[in-house]
Amino acid sequence: MIEVSHLVKEFSNDGKVFRAVDDVSFQVKKGEIYGIIGLSGAGKSTLVRCLNRLEEPTSGKIVIDGVDMVALSKKELLNQRKDIGMIFQHFNLFLQKTVYDNIAYPLEIQKWPKEKIQARVEELLDFIDLKDKRGVYPSSLSGGQKQRVAIARALATSPKILLSDEGTSALDPINTRMVVETLKKTVKDLNTTIIMITHQMEVAKDICDRIAVMENGKIIEENTVEELFRAPKTKQTQKFISSLRESDNPDQNIDLTKYKGRVLRLSYDDQTVDQPILSRCIKDYQVDVNLLSGNMNRLDVKDFGYMIVEVLGSDQQVDQALAFMKEKGVYVEVLK
């Protein structure tokens, strides 16, 4: 259980005092995934960095499982930090160290014996499903694989809490999904509590139990993920959510002039999502299909999502394929 009360963080620049975190209070239960969203400069990173005292709070209280984090001496703090892992947008792996040595690092710092380190690292490699990458250097990994290594490193000392400062922001949709699945597994298997900052609406929806919205150093709204997206209370949150919807919308990033075939946006719901509709189109109407972009959401136990595809074939074939998809209940928009 994490209890933050009246947390304030001020920075002084040229004699001017700036409040980056302004009287913030919230609680997070064990095994909960708590999201923090908000515009750039809202104070999200500063707030999260106060939790493990990477930033020294100016005032207020942070109590983690009964331990008053603010009252700890530097030495006690080092010990307590074992219980708080952290991952970052740009992974922050040691580039000169192998995957194995990256994960082993926090255990070496804690002076674990070699055999125990080896057993623990193997266990973690298995957990992130990267056993075959133990000997390689981070430069040869995909973004998602790098972040999974960073997660393994953060989890090495079995922390109770994992902090993620935009841990999926630098990743493409497929790698984002791999990392999100790893985070879900972390909570499920290890009962870790996660506090995560994210700009990605689909990530927030998919993984968070509750979300806090920050603005000008304050939490202006906090709710379960379903309620927050269904009925945002404040104007700022409404605006913020619609701006996220726009930036999540990949239609705008696709250069339609680049494609020779017809470009379609296919929306699926929980009735159609599991059906092999595209492969039937390819087989029965001899069209070629290129996947340009896609997105899946899991909310309210329903699956829905969309794909943007280029369909290549004769006009007649493409028309037939389109009619078939519509007949099967897929909502089809022709973008080009």
Ligand X SMILES: Nc1ncnc2c1ncn2[C@@H]1O[C@H](COP(=O)(O)OP(=O)(O)OP(=O)(O)O)[C@@H](O)[C@H]1O
Residues that bind Mg ion (CB under 5 A): 45
Shortest CB 54 distance to ligand X, Å:
11
Question: Which of 1, 5, 6, 11 is in the footprint of ligand X by CB under 6 A?
Answer: 11
Question: Which of 6, 25, 30, 41 is in the footprint of ligand X by CB under 6 A?
Answer: 41
User: Which residues have a Cβ under 8 Å from the Cβ of 29 and sit 6 or more positions away?
Assistant: 1, 193
With 0-12 CB in 10 A as exposed, 13-18 as middle and 19+ as buried, what is 46? buried
User: Which residues have a Cβ under 8 Å from the Cβ of 87 and sit 6 or more positions away?
Assistant: 147, 150, 151, 154, 162, 163, 164, 165, 167
Q: Which is nearer to ligand X, 41 or 329 (CB)?
A: 41
Binding segment for ligand X (CB under 6 A), chosen from 34-42, 105-113, 282-290, 306-314, is: 34-42
Residue 38 engages ligand X in binding (rule: CB under 6 A): yes
Question: Which of 34, 45, 145, 330 is in the footprint of ligand X by CB under 6 A?
Answer: 45
Residue 94 engages ligand X in binding (rule: CB under 6 A): no
Binding segment for ligand X (CB under 6 A), chosen from 40-48, 100-108, 171-179, 299-307, is: 40-48
Residue 57 engages ligand X in binding (rule: CB under 6 A): no
DSSP 240-266: HHHHHHHHH-GGGG--GGG-SSEEEEE
Residue 43 engages ligand X in binding (rule: CB under 6 A): yes
Q: Which is nearer to Mg ion, 45 or 193 (CB)?
A: 45
Shortest CB 101 distance to ligand X, Å:
29
Residue 202 CA to residue 147 CA, distance in Å, equals 18
Q: Which is nearer to Mg ion, 45 or 192 (CB)?
A: 45
Tokens of 322: 């389109």
Q: Which is nearer to ligand X, 20 or 183 (CB)?
A: 20
DSSP 277-321: HHHHHHHHH--EEEEEEEEEEEETTEEEEEEEEEEES-HHHHHHH
Q: Which is nearer to ligand X, 56 or 274 (CB)?
A: 56
Residue 336 CA to residue 331 CA, distance in Å, equals 15
Is residue 11 within 8 Å of 40, Cβ to Cβ? no
**Which residues contribute to the site for ligand X (CB under 6 A)?**
11, 13, 18, 20, 38, 40-46
